Structures are given as C-alpha cells and as structure tokens.
Amino acid sequence: MAHTVRAAVPADLAALPAIELSGDAMFAELGIVFPPGPAAVEAAIAHGASIVVAGDPPVAFAAVLALDGHPHLEQISVRADQTRSGIGSLLLDDVVRRYGPGLTLLTFRDVPWNGPWYLRHGFAELPSSAWGPQLRRHWQAEIDAGLHDLGPRLVMYFPGS
C-alpha cells in the first residue's frame, strides 16, 4: 500500500503518541526499555515542531524542531505493524528534501534502525566540536532523562551531496 507524505493537520496529532509508543516492543527486544513518561512527539508538538505524516490516517510521522538555527529531526516513528515496509525511508527522504544539508538528529549508535539506518541514508556523525549550545542542552537533557544509560548515543547530521 503506497502512502503519501503530507503536512500533519490538527486532527492527526492525537494519533501520533500511539504510533511512537508502538515501537517500544522492538527496542525492548534489544534490552532497551524507555523510562515512563509522555511520548517524545508530545513535547515536540508543544515546542512548535513541524510534523509530517505518512498515510491518512497516519501510520508514521516525523517531527522537526529548530536547534541553533538548524533543522533537527526530533523524532521519526512508524507504527510497529508497518515497519520494514519503506515508510520510514519515504518519510526521511521527504524530511531531507524539505530541510536539506545541516539537518541534525540524536539516535542510538548501534540499533539497526537508528544509527546504521541513518548512515545508509547519507547521514554522518557530527563531532561535538560542531555542536551549538541548544544541541548541547538537548544532549544533556537526554543524559539527565536516563536515555544514555540505555545504550550508546550519537549526534548525526545530513551533509548533503
């Protein structure tokens, strides 16, 4: 089934936390159990993120914030029963087209559908010497929330072609 990527409308937003949280079981299989709390997309929406979705109703979404004057992919999630079907790549390609070089993200270094997946899509590790103050605060907030205790994390960016 082909999905169209589009800007989210207000009626889409309520479904996004369930999409995000549906992936927790995949992480749990790797021993990564997230601390309780709201879905990351809820905080992203509260901070004015731009949201794109795939499907109507949505089966996946991407949330992009601005950090240090650059676009930052805060979250990309595909409903668990729709993973490994190309929807994540469709969304990421759309986000890269919209925001281009300089797009950053934080992710797990070794989780196959995280760091290695972004690497295959043209992303590279961003050295800490290139981080701006907002990105540094974002990194520290992850540490404070215990996310870095779950596995090695890294900052990546899209350098363009």
pLDDT tens, N- to C-terminus, the chain (161 residues): 578 999 999 999 999 999 999 999 999 999 999 988 888 999 999 999 999 999 999 999 999 999 999 999 999 999 999 998 899 999 999 999 999 999 999 999 999 999 999 999 999 999 999 999 999 999 999 999 999 999 999 999 999 76
Distance CA 90, CA 42 (A): 22
What pLDDT was estimated at residue 38? 85
Q: How many other CB atoms sit within 10 Å of the CB of residue 160?
A: 10
Distance CA 32, CA 29 (A): 7
**CA distances from residue 39 to 20, 55, 116, 125, 147 in whole angstroms, order as listed:** 7, 20, 23, 25, 13
pTM: 0.94
What pLDDT was estimated at residue 1? 54
Residue 30, classed as helix, strand or coil, is coil
How many domains does one find in the chain? 1
With contact defined as beta carbons under 8 Å apart, do 58 and 6 qualify? no
Residue 91 sits in which domain range? 5-157
Residue 31, classed as helix, strand or coil, is coil
Secondary structure E strands in 8-123: 50-54, 60-67, 70-78, 104-108
Domain harbouring 41, CATH code: 3.40.630.30
Give the helix/strand (H/E) hosting 28: helix 24-28
What pLDDT was estimated at residue 35? 83
Structure tokens that stand for 123 in this block: 């992303």
Give the helix/strand (H/E) hosting 40: helix 40-46
What pLDDT was estimated at residue 161? 66
Distance CA 19, CA 21 (A): 6
